[in-house]
Copies of this chain bind each other. A is one copy, B any other.
Amino acid sequence: MKVMLDFCVVPLGVGVSVSQYVAECQRVLEQAGLSHQMHPYGTVVEGEWDAVFAALRTCHERVHALGAPRISTSLRLGTRTDRDQSMQDKLDSVRSKLASSS
């Protein structure tokens, strides 16, 4: 089962600057070979369910290892059985609607 995941890791107990923890998660996704795209309030990743959630677990382990005693992550998670749809497909679909209406 393929999944698209949008996640935002929020470490607690390490002050207000979280960019080093977000950077570590980017490295995890890179090392896992998963297609991903960072945005200003999270990161979208797509792939097989087990590979994506193994990477998410590694993100939590690495962020704890960097010193964060507590993490609160918010996620959106999409699966579909009717067809494949990539991150790019989703963006293209909205943009074609916008173009045809302008």
Contact = CB atoms under 8 A, between A and B. Distances in A.
A22 to B, nearest CB: 5
A15 B69 CA distance: 9
Contact of A41 (B6, B10, B64, B79): B6
Interface of A is mostly: mixed
Given A1-B60, A57-B49, A23 B75 contact: no
How many copies of this chain are found per oligomer?
4
Interface string A17-37: 111101100110000000001
Interface of A: 1, 4-6, 8, 10, 12-13, 15-20, 22-23, 26-27, 37-42, 44, 49, 53, 57, 60-61, 64, 69-82, 87-88, 90-91, 93-94, 96-98, 101
